[in-house]
Amino acid sequence: MQITQRKNALVFGGASGIGWATSQTLLDQGAQVTIADLRRPTEPGRLRYIACDVRDANQVCEAVKKAIERGPLDWLVYSAGIQHYGSVVDTPIEEYDFVQQVNARGAFLACRSAIPAMTRGGAIVLVSSVQALACQEGVAAYAASKGTLEALTRAMAVDHAKDRIRVNAVLPGTVDTPMVRSSAERFGGRDGLEQTLEQWGGNHLLGRVAHASEIARVIAFLLSDAASFMTGASYRVDGGLLSQLPVRL
Protein backbone atom coordinates (compact mmCIF):
# COMPACT_ATOMS: atom_id res chain seq x y z
CA MET A 1 0.00 0.00 0.00
CA GLN A 2 1.57 3.26 -1.13
CA ILE A 3 0.37 6.78 -0.41
CA THR A 4 -0.55 8.63 -3.63
CA GLN A 5 -0.54 12.08 -2.02
CA ARG A 6 2.14 13.18 0.39
CA LYS A 7 0.51 13.30 3.81
CA ASN A 8 1.43 15.32 6.87
CA ALA A 9 1.34 13.12 9.99
CA LEU A 10 1.80 13.82 13.70
CA VAL A 11 2.44 10.95 16.10
CA PHE A 12 2.25 11.55 19.84
CA GLY A 13 4.33 9.03 21.75
CA GLY A 14 6.27 8.36 18.58
CA ALA A 15 9.73 7.80 20.04
CA SER A 16 9.30 4.16 21.05
CA GLY A 17 7.08 1.10 20.88
CA ILE A 18 3.98 1.19 18.70
CA GLY A 19 4.37 4.93 18.09
CA TRP A 20 7.91 4.50 16.77
CA ALA A 21 6.92 1.59 14.54
CA THR A 22 3.99 3.60 13.21
CA SER A 23 6.20 6.60 12.48
CA GLN A 24 8.61 4.39 10.53
CA THR A 25 5.78 2.74 8.62
CA LEU A 26 4.27 6.07 7.60
CA LEU A 27 7.68 7.35 6.53
CA ASP A 28 8.28 4.25 4.43
CA GLN A 29 4.95 4.85 2.71
CA GLY A 30 5.86 8.40 1.75
CA ALA A 31 4.39 10.58 4.49
CA GLN A 32 6.20 13.40 6.24
CA VAL A 33 6.12 12.57 9.93
CA THR A 34 6.52 14.64 13.08
CA ILE A 35 6.78 12.85 16.41
CA ALA A 36 5.97 14.47 19.75
CA ASP A 37 7.41 12.74 22.79
CA LEU A 38 9.20 13.43 26.06
CA ARG A 39 12.10 11.31 24.86
CA ARG A 40 14.15 11.92 21.75
CA PRO A 41 14.35 8.85 19.51
CA THR A 42 17.77 7.23 19.32
CA GLU A 43 18.00 7.65 15.55
CA PRO A 44 15.38 10.14 14.33
CA GLY A 45 16.56 9.98 10.72
CA ARG A 46 14.01 11.70 8.49
CA LEU A 47 11.57 12.11 11.37
CA ARG A 48 10.99 15.56 12.80
CA TYR A 49 11.11 15.45 16.60
CA ILE A 50 9.36 17.82 19.01
CA ALA A 51 9.84 17.55 22.77
CA CYS A 52 6.38 17.34 24.35
CA ASP A 53 4.82 16.42 27.67
CA VAL A 54 1.27 15.38 26.74
CA ARG A 55 0.02 16.46 30.16
CA ASP A 56 0.79 20.08 29.27
CA ALA A 57 -1.84 21.69 27.04
CA ASN A 58 0.55 24.40 25.89
CA GLN A 59 3.20 21.90 24.84
CA VAL A 60 0.64 19.81 22.97
CA CYS A 61 -0.63 22.89 21.16
CA GLU A 62 2.93 23.89 20.28
CA ALA A 63 3.62 20.42 18.87
CA VAL A 64 0.64 20.79 16.54
CA LYS A 65 1.81 24.25 15.48
CA LYS A 66 5.24 22.88 14.64
CA ALA A 67 3.76 20.00 12.66
CA ILE A 68 1.58 22.25 10.50
CA GLU A 69 4.53 24.38 9.51
CA ARG A 70 4.76 21.71 6.80
CA GLY A 71 1.14 22.27 5.76
CA PRO A 72 -2.34 21.22 6.91
CA LEU A 73 -2.38 18.18 9.15
CA ASP A 74 -3.75 15.03 7.52
CA TRP A 75 -3.13 12.30 10.06
CA LEU A 76 -2.96 12.17 13.85
CA VAL A 77 -1.90 9.14 15.89
CA TYR A 78 -2.06 9.16 19.68
CA SER A 79 0.18 6.39 21.00
CA ALA A 80 1.45 7.95 24.23
CA GLY A 81 0.74 5.76 27.23
CA ILE A 82 1.91 4.49 30.58
CA GLN A 83 1.00 1.47 32.69
CA HIS A 84 0.27 1.27 36.41
CA TYR A 85 -0.75 -1.84 38.31
CA GLY A 86 -3.24 -1.94 41.17
CA SER A 87 -6.89 -2.16 42.10
CA VAL A 88 -8.97 0.91 42.91
CA VAL A 89 -8.21 0.24 46.58
CA ASP A 90 -4.43 0.13 46.38
CA THR A 91 -3.86 2.62 43.55
CA PRO A 92 -2.82 5.99 45.01
CA ILE A 93 -4.99 8.84 43.79
CA GLU A 94 -1.91 10.58 42.42
CA GLU A 95 -1.01 7.51 40.35
CA TYR A 96 -4.54 7.22 39.01
CA ASP A 97 -4.53 10.88 38.01
CA PHE A 98 -1.12 10.51 36.35
CA VAL A 99 -2.28 7.56 34.22
CA GLN A 100 -5.42 9.42 33.20
CA GLN A 101 -3.46 12.54 32.33
CA VAL A 102 -1.10 10.71 29.99
CA ASN A 103 -3.35 8.07 28.48
CA ALA A 104 -6.71 9.85 28.24
CA ARG A 105 -6.41 13.57 28.89
CA GLY A 106 -3.37 13.74 26.62
CA ALA A 107 -5.41 12.22 23.78
CA PHE A 108 -8.13 14.80 24.38
CA LEU A 109 -5.59 17.63 24.31
CA ALA A 110 -3.94 16.29 21.14
CA CYS A 111 -7.23 15.98 19.27
CA ARG A 112 -8.48 19.31 20.57
CA SER A 113 -5.45 21.06 19.10
CA ALA A 114 -5.10 18.96 15.95
CA ILE A 115 -8.65 18.83 14.59
CA PRO A 116 -8.82 22.56 13.70
CA ALA A 117 -5.54 22.08 11.81
CA MET A 118 -7.03 19.28 9.67
CA THR A 119 -8.46 21.77 7.19
CA ARG A 120 -8.61 19.34 4.27
CA GLY A 121 -10.07 16.50 6.32
CA GLY A 122 -8.06 13.55 7.50
CA ALA A 123 -7.93 10.66 9.92
CA ILE A 124 -7.18 10.05 13.59
CA VAL A 125 -6.20 6.79 15.26
CA LEU A 126 -6.09 6.40 19.04
CA VAL A 127 -4.10 3.49 20.45
CA SER A 128 -6.29 1.88 23.09
CA SER A 129 -5.95 -1.67 24.44
CA VAL A 130 -7.85 -4.93 24.81
CA GLN A 131 -7.92 -3.96 28.50
CA ALA A 132 -10.69 -1.53 27.53
CA LEU A 133 -12.88 -4.56 26.85
CA ALA A 134 -11.63 -7.29 29.20
CA CYS A 135 -9.27 -6.94 32.14
CA GLN A 136 -6.68 -8.90 33.99
CA GLU A 137 -6.30 -8.31 37.72
CA GLY A 138 -4.81 -5.09 39.00
CA VAL A 139 -5.14 -2.74 36.03
CA ALA A 140 -7.91 -0.41 37.24
CA ALA A 141 -6.30 2.91 36.30
CA TYR A 142 -4.94 1.67 32.97
CA ALA A 143 -8.19 0.00 31.93
CA ALA A 144 -10.20 3.08 32.86
CA SER A 145 -7.97 5.28 30.72
CA LYS A 146 -8.22 2.97 27.73
CA GLY A 147 -11.99 2.72 28.11
CA THR A 148 -12.08 6.50 27.93
CA LEU A 149 -10.30 6.35 24.57
CA GLU A 150 -12.99 4.01 23.27
CA ALA A 151 -15.76 6.47 24.09
CA LEU A 152 -13.73 9.44 22.86
CA THR A 153 -13.21 7.71 19.52
CA ARG A 154 -16.95 7.34 18.98
CA ALA A 155 -17.76 10.86 20.15
CA MET A 156 -15.21 12.49 17.87
CA ALA A 157 -16.30 10.38 14.90
CA VAL A 158 -19.84 11.67 15.37
CA ASP A 159 -18.83 15.28 15.90
CA HIS A 160 -16.32 15.59 13.08
CA ALA A 161 -17.68 13.49 10.22
CA LYS A 162 -18.96 16.80 8.83
CA ASP A 163 -15.36 18.00 8.78
CA ARG A 164 -14.35 14.95 6.71
CA ILE A 165 -12.33 13.60 9.62
CA ARG A 166 -12.47 9.88 10.40
CA VAL A 167 -11.64 8.61 13.89
CA ASN A 168 -10.86 5.02 14.82
CA ALA A 169 -9.10 3.13 17.60
CA VAL A 170 -6.88 0.07 17.67
CA LEU A 171 -6.89 -2.34 20.59
CA PRO A 172 -3.66 -4.32 20.72
CA GLY A 173 -3.10 -7.42 22.77
CA THR A 174 0.36 -7.99 24.21
CA VAL A 175 2.99 -6.26 22.07
CA ASP A 176 6.76 -6.47 22.38
CA THR A 177 7.41 -2.86 23.45
CA PRO A 178 9.62 -1.28 26.12
CA MET A 179 6.56 -0.89 28.36
CA VAL A 180 5.64 -4.56 28.09
CA ARG A 181 9.25 -5.62 28.62
CA SER A 182 9.37 -3.51 31.76
CA SER A 183 6.26 -5.31 33.02
CA ALA A 184 7.77 -8.68 32.14
CA GLU A 185 10.89 -7.85 34.13
CA ARG A 186 8.71 -6.86 37.07
CA PHE A 187 6.46 -9.92 37.09
CA GLY A 188 8.67 -12.53 35.47
CA GLY A 189 10.50 -13.51 38.63
CA ARG A 190 12.90 -16.38 38.06
CA ASP A 191 11.61 -17.14 34.58
CA GLY A 192 13.52 -14.33 32.94
CA LEU A 193 12.37 -11.70 30.49
CA GLU A 194 12.24 -13.71 27.27
CA GLN A 195 10.59 -16.71 28.89
CA THR A 196 7.97 -14.45 30.48
CA LEU A 197 7.19 -12.86 27.11
CA GLU A 198 6.89 -16.34 25.64
CA GLN A 199 4.46 -17.35 28.38
CA TRP A 200 2.38 -14.22 27.85
CA GLY A 201 2.36 -14.91 24.13
CA GLY A 202 0.89 -18.31 24.86
CA ASN A 203 -2.31 -16.61 26.04
CA HIS A 204 -2.99 -15.55 22.46
CA LEU A 205 -4.43 -17.96 19.89
CA LEU A 206 -1.45 -17.28 17.63
CA GLY A 207 0.87 -18.35 20.43
CA ARG A 208 3.08 -15.28 20.63
CA VAL A 209 3.16 -11.58 21.44
CA ALA A 210 2.84 -9.10 18.58
CA HIS A 211 5.61 -7.13 16.95
CA ALA A 212 5.03 -3.37 17.11
CA SER A 213 5.24 -3.25 13.32
CA GLU A 214 2.14 -5.46 13.08
CA ILE A 215 0.09 -2.90 15.00
CA ALA A 216 1.67 -0.08 12.99
CA ARG A 217 0.50 -1.58 9.71
CA VAL A 218 -3.10 -1.63 10.94
CA ILE A 219 -2.82 2.00 12.07
CA ALA A 220 -1.40 2.97 8.67
CA PHE A 221 -4.30 1.23 6.96
CA LEU A 222 -6.89 3.01 9.09
CA LEU A 223 -5.29 6.34 8.26
CA SER A 224 -5.18 5.63 4.54
CA ASP A 225 -7.77 6.18 1.84
CA ALA A 226 -8.18 2.39 1.71
CA ALA A 227 -10.18 2.78 4.96
CA SER A 228 -12.24 5.71 3.64
CA PHE A 229 -15.58 4.24 4.84
CA MET A 230 -14.36 3.31 8.32
CA THR A 231 -14.97 5.61 11.27
CA GLY A 232 -16.16 5.52 14.87
CA ALA A 233 -14.97 1.96 15.39
CA SER A 234 -12.42 0.01 17.38
CA TYR A 235 -10.31 -2.78 15.92
CA ARG A 236 -8.76 -5.54 17.98
CA VAL A 237 -5.26 -6.53 16.92
CA ASP A 238 -4.84 -9.11 19.63
CA GLY A 239 -3.80 -12.41 18.08
CA GLY A 240 -7.16 -13.88 19.08
CA LEU A 241 -6.65 -13.08 22.77
CA LEU A 242 -10.29 -12.13 23.44
CA SER A 243 -11.80 -14.77 21.15
CA GLN A 244 -11.18 -17.67 23.52
CA LEU A 245 -13.08 -18.48 26.69
CA PRO A 246 -10.95 -19.65 29.65
CA VAL A 247 -12.96 -22.89 29.79
CA ARG A 248 -11.42 -26.32 29.37
CA LEU A 249 -13.54 -29.37 28.52
Q: How confident is the model at residue 1 (pLDDT cuts 50, 70, 90)?
A: very low
Catalytic residue among 78, 96, 142, 235: 142
Least confident residue range of 36-50, 137-151, 173-187: 173-187
Is residue 142 annotated as part of the catalytic site, yes or no?
yes
Mean pLDDT of 132-149: 96
State the greatest distance between any 2 C-alpha atoms of the chain, in Å, as a whole number: 60
CB atoms within 10 A of CB 53: 16
pTM, to two decimals: 0.93
Residues in CB range of 65: below 8 A, 6 or more apart: none
Kindly indicate the confidence band of residue 190, based on its pLDDT and cuts at 50, 70 and 90: low
Lowest mean pLDDT among 18-22, 26-30, 38-42: 38-42
Distances (CA, A) of 20 to 40, 178, 212: 11, 11, 8
- Residue 177 reports pLDDT greater than 80: yes
Contacts of 214 (CB under 8 A, 6+ apart): 175, 237
Which of 1-15, 126-140, 166-180, 182-196 is predicted with the least confidence, judged by mean pLDDT?
182-196
Total length of the chain: 249
d(CA 124, CA 127): 10
Domains in the chain, CATH or no CATH each = 8-173+212-237 (3.40.50.720), 175-208 (no CATH)
Cβ burial of 87 (10 Å; 0-12, 13-18, 19+) is exposed
- Mean pLDDT (the chain) is 93
Who has greater pLDDT, 43 or 2? 43
Decide: 183 and 83 in contact? Cβ < 8 Å: yes
Neighbour tally for 134: CB within 10 Å: 10
Distance of CA 141 to the CA centre of its chain: 16
pLDDT in tens, 89-133: 999 999 999 999 999 999 999 999 999 999 999 999 999 999 999
In this predicted structure, what is the pLDDT of residue 185? Answer: 77
